[in-house]
Amino acid sequence: MTEHHHDDSHYVAPTIEANYAPLRRVALLSAVVGTVAFLALGIANASMNAAHGGVRDLFLTYQSGFVFWSLVPIGAMTLMLIGYLCSTSWALVFRRVFQAAMRTWPLMFVLFLPVAASALFMGHDSSFWWAVPAGEFARDHANGDPVVTHEVAHRQGLYLNGLFFLLRAVIIFGVFGLLMRAMLKWAPAAEDEGNAANKSKLKGLGGPGVLVWALLFTVAMTDWVMSVEPAWSSSMFPVVAAMDCFLVTMAFSALVFYSLVGENQTALTIVKDKFRIDIGSLMYAFTMIWAYASFGQYMLIWAGNIPEEIGYYRKRLNGGWEFVAYALMAIHWLLPFVIFLFREVKTNPKSMKAMSIMLLAICATDVIWWIVPCVPHAEDTQFFHLLMAIAAIAMVGGIWGLAFLGQLRKANLLPKKDTAFLANWGHH
């Protein structure tokens, strides 16, 4: 048999005509409705519970929105690094989405400022228990136990204090920003002009970049999520959070890409069934690893039965939050486990859009379940606080989404040169 080799050096990806208006309307509606709902619910809650953490709940639910949407640019950066390192097809399909998400990183720092203000200035109204002076927290929560008082003071003085928290955040934003800037600087020449030197730089950045991400992402999740729960820590939690990070990024990217491509046969001819199956299979893998890590964390805490650890699950398996836990088991793991077994789902853009919406919704619920129950509320108000957190996610998502779409529309959905791998796959 004669082998036919394609000369990729002259390939240029076709321009994909995409209508951004529907997505922009969704983002604008989310920003407006989310902001109005969040402020209305927050003010109502603060006025009704002024003496019982009403202002604190405002910061706590906002933090859910910030943490959820921060996962997208962080996940985009990490998946881009992996994509360059391993030359993956799925990272090539979503490359423009990833790059647009990374360009919103300065906005994420602005959206982080209320979280920083909560840690630095709010005291008893902070979403962070350690922002309360150690003696007062121990008095209110430890019934004067000298051992607990000493432990609280030790943790707060050594690591959990406002200025060190802010310094760590600046380092996280700064280092991630430098990684993103390097990729965004080298990518145009590598992807659109085939510059071999820049391709080599991007591939070389992949390995060290992933290691840096693993370290700083662990610090970020420890500070922004784990430290909200008094006296609780888990070495497995960053793995759980990382799987949510990747799953949210992939689901968001699939939703945006398939929404913009629609029935465009030019794009669907390039992004063949094989590559669409790769995308769905990767999302399937992330749901499975999330389930494994989540169960592993629960099993270890249950087996250890240590008082300062079991409080995390006692809060989340009572007071109405247990129904959220059941929903997570069913929708975050069981449904994707069954549905993603069918290749017809993974190759159908409409089915993938539906799956992406479902996964984004349940991952947002997961983030709320991480953060909001850390402060005990009356059982009859839990649904109210859940609504506040949903409104915060809609508000932050709408604001961030408008900035994201503004960046995405600046370039063609597929890279000019690198897309040759997708277009000519199966012909070599």
The pLDDT tens digits for 174-230 are 999 999 999 999 988 877 677 788 889 999 999 999 999 999 999 999 999 999 988
Q: What is the dihedral of CA 83, 85, 86, 87, to 10 degrees?
A: 60
First-residue to last-residue Cα distance in the chain: 12
DSSP string, 163-204: HHHHHHHHHHHHHHHHHHHHHHHHHHHHHHS--HHHHHHHHH
**CA–CA separation, 31 vs 25, rounded Å?**
10
Is a pLDDT exceeding 50 seen at residue 115? yes
Look at residues 75, 110, 120 and name the one whose alpha carbon lies nearest to residue 221.
75
What backbone phi and psi angles, to 5 degrees, belong to 249?
A: -65, -45
For the residues 17-32, what does the mean pLDDT come to?
Answer: 94
Helix spans in 49-161 (H): 54-86, 89-93, 95-102, 105-121, 134-141, 146-158
- The count of other CB atoms within 10 Å of the CB of residue 288 is 15
Question: How many beta carbons lie within 10 A of that of residue 204, not counting itself?
Answer: 12
pLDDT tier at 135, thresholds 50, 70, 90: low
Query: Taking a C-beta distance cutoff of 8 angstroms, is the pair 152, 137 a contact?
Result: yes
Which of 291, 1, 99 lies closest to 299, judged by CA? 291
pLDDT confidence of 4, banded at 50, 70, 90? very low
Task: Report in angstroms the alpha-carbon separations of 99 from 21, 103, 423.
Answer: 20, 6, 21
Q: Is 151's pLDDT higher than 80? A: no
The rounded distance, in Å, linking the Cα atoms of 77 and 93 is 15
Give the start-to-end residue ranges of the domains of the chain: 16-410
Residue 11 vs residue 58, higher pLDDT: 58
